[in-house]
Amino acid sequence: MHIAEGFLPPAHAIAWGVASAPFVVHGARSLTREVREHPESTLLLGASGAFMFVLSALKLPSVTGSCSHPTGTGLGAILFRPPVMAVLGTITLLFQALLLAHGGLTTLGANVFSMAIVGPWAGYGAYRLLRRYDAPLMAAVFTGAFVADLSTYCVTSVQLALAFPDPSSGFLGALGKFGSIFAVTQIPLAVSEGLLTVLVMRLLVQSSKGELTRLGVLLSGRKERTGAGAGTGTEAVAR
Amino acid sequence: MLPIDAAAHSSRWRRRHPVDKAVLGLGLTVLAISLPPWPGAALVLLTALAVLLGPAGVPGRRLWRAYRVPLGFCATGALTLLVQVGGPGGFVSLAADGPARAGELLLRTSAASLGVLLFAFTTPMSDLLPRLVRAGVPAAVVDVALVTYRMSFLLLDSVRRVREAQAARLGHGSRAAEWRSLAGLGATAFVRAFDRAARLQAGLAGRGYDGTLRVLVPQARPSVRFTAASAALLAAVAALTFALRSFVPDSF
């Protein structure tokens, strides 16, 4: 769910842009440093951005029978880490606004804050926390994707409630209104995205161990409980 | 290529400098959210529509296909303003000024969307991205965005083909099969993206790649006349809004 073009009043649009800016600038600096040290990273990061863009274009069957699309923030954060996701997410949201008329330029700051900053950080935090307590890789991946998806929508609810407080009950009433609408649709979608992310990660562990190791998701040299069932154990451990 | 970008490449204003089109298109968007929705956003909407279908030469059908997406989001979002939580009418009741607020929001978002569409339908990404370096965006970020842009089309094409192949093998026959196919699609996109990146790297290394992607950008200079005319149009819309506000009611 992106906030559509022109949906936020100017003051809110500017405020969310200002709130997002330090994270995006920090991400851009990390990316510039990385590219300066390893010029070949440009292509890898570009490929990652394209992957995120394509991932967000996949249609996800939802429990209610309708279709939605994954935010991809959880998988992106696990694969590429949150600082890089702030930049890749901003690029993806810019492309979505200009190439798909999805989201907007005046709401870019707000969408970046929810989808490219809070979602990845919350999802990555949940993933790392579970990994620290030695949870199976796939359980951590599911939780990371679920939390990233849901936190994105929680922040979007807050952004909308701040912009459109309820005439009777103010901010809290509006938060309940937007939150309950999202809860009905987004909790099943967050579960769906978590399941999809686990399925994608299972395939990646089997087929792209090299890339996952290069990205630092897997470290070679240790047997790992993936939690993905028999026959998919891998000599790796998540960072 | 995606429909909006394809239309931008064949646009009548393709050769104009992006700054010219940004002043007009994004200027209209800024006006749409800054002016009072009634009658300001309505005037912006009419102006943007007239420019899109007139001088910019965007085909009406293409515009509608792109415009209905944000319009759907705007309408869904505006519906929530029709109700209020708590108050004398019960836990959830119709808000007294709900229709007016929803109408204003709908006007504002639909007008703002048209402004961005005016820019998007006339400015290909390949013209815009390399010029962002001059706007202060780090060159490394622009390079990554360029690779992302070019690789997105290849990946989208790959995904479409994989999806067709999956459908031909009854990969969407049941809910379980659909999930399996979708997971395969996501993983294939990842593998192909990294495979392409590795092959691009090998190809560029053979051509002396030093970390900078040099691309040809069509030569164009900002037109003072076009920019001045755009600024005059924006000023006229703003002036007309405030003039009309003394004749029309504050909201509808």
What angle, 0 to 180 degrees and rounded to 10, lies between the N-to-C axes of helices A119-132 and A137-163?
A: 150
For residue A69, give the 3-state DSSP assignment.
coil
In a domain, residue A3? The reply is no
In a domain, residue A225? The reply is no
Mean pLDDT of chain B: 87
Is B183 in Cβ contact with A196 (below 8 Å)? yes
- Answer yes or no: is pLDDT of B78 > 60: yes
Q: Residue for token digits 């279709």?
A: A67
**Burial group, residue B90, by CB count within 10 angstroms (0-12, 13-18, 19+):** exposed
Confidence of residue B250 (pLDDT cuts 50, 70, 90): low
Cα B194 to Cα B158: distance, rounded to the nearest angstrom:
13
Q: Are A63 and B235 in contact (CB under 8 A)?
A: no
Is B182 in Cβ contact with A53 (below 8 Å)? no
Q: Which amino acid is at B96?
A: A
pLDDT score of A19: 96
Mark residue A230 as left, alpha or beta (left: phi above 0; alpha: psi -120 to 50; beta: remaining).
beta
Across A219-223, B170-174, B211-215, least confident range: A219-223
Global pTM value: 0.87
Cα A30 to Cα A33: distance, rounded to the nearest angstrom:
5
Domain total of chain A: 1
Which positions 48-67 of A are in contact with B (Cβ < 8 Å)?
48-51, 53-55, 57-58, 60-61
Contacts of A48 in chain B (CB under 8 A): 193
Q: Are B108 and B78 in contact (CB under 8 A)?
A: no
**Burial group, residue A175, by CB count within 10 angstroms (0-12, 13-18, 19+):** buried
In a domain, residue A226? The reply is no
State the residue range of the domain holding A86.
10-208
Q: Which amino acid is at A176?
A: G
For residue B208, give the 3-state DSSP assignment.
coil
Q: What is the ipTM of this complex?
A: 0.88
Is B84 in Cβ contact with A169 (below 8 Å)? yes
In a domain, residue A136? The reply is yes
Number of other CB atoms surrounding residue B71 within 10 Å? 18
| Mean pLDDT within B53-66 | 92
Q: What CATH number corresponds to the domain at position A38?
A: 1.10.1760.20
Which positions 123-142 of A are in contact with B (Cβ < 8 Å)?
none
Q: Which residue has the higher pLDDT, A142 or A48?
A: A142
pLDDT tens digits along B235-246: 999 999 999 887
- Answer yes or no: is pLDDT of A224 > 80: no
pLDDT score of A220: 61
pLDDT score of A72: 79
Cα A65 to Cα B225: distance, rounded to the nearest angstrom:
53
User: At B199, which helix (H) or strand (E)?
Assistant: helix B175-205
Cα A22 to Cα A28: distance, rounded to the nearest angstrom:
10
- Answer yes or no: is pLDDT of A66 > 50: no
| Mean pLDDT within B53-65 | 93
Could you check whether the bond before residue B39 is cis, i.e. omega within 30 degrees of 0? yes
For chain A, state the CA radius of gyration. Answer: 18
Nearest CA in chain B to A70: B186
Per domain, the residue ranges of chain B are 3-123+222-245, 130-205
Residues with Cβ < 8 Å from A139, sequence gap 6 or more? A130, A227
Cα B126 to Cα B240: distance, rounded to the nearest angstrom:
36
Q: Which residue has the higher pLDDT, A79 or B34?
A: B34
